[in-house]
Amino acid sequence: MQIGDKLMLRPTVFGGGADMIDSQPRTCRVVYIHPLRRFFVVEFCSAETGLTWRETRYFNDRAGGRGEEQL
């Protein structure tokens, strides 16, 4: 994995009512990788509003990591 790579991940945002985001995998871009590969940050872009948000994920080889899955 490198900065700029595109992944398909499920966003982990929460909401309710009209602002609920579905849990389907979405395309995201890797924007940061910790120098010791402890975690990475991905950026999602909303198709409806064009706004972006970022989420931090752990690599699968770390305890509880559920971020790097390729769907």
Instruction: For residue 28, give its domain range.
Output: 6-58
67 located within any domain = no
65 located within any domain = no
Provide the whole-model pTM.
0.73
d(CA 27, CA 9): 7
For residue range 22-41, what is the model confidence (pLDDT) as tens digits? 667 889 999 999 999 889 99
Give the C-alpha distances (Å, rounded to integers) separating 62 from 24, 47, 49: 24, 31, 34
49 located within any domain = yes
50: amino acid identity, one letter: G
For residue range 42-65, what is the model confidence (pLDDT) as tens digits? 999 887 888 899 999 998 776 555
How many independent structural domains does the chain possess?
A: 1
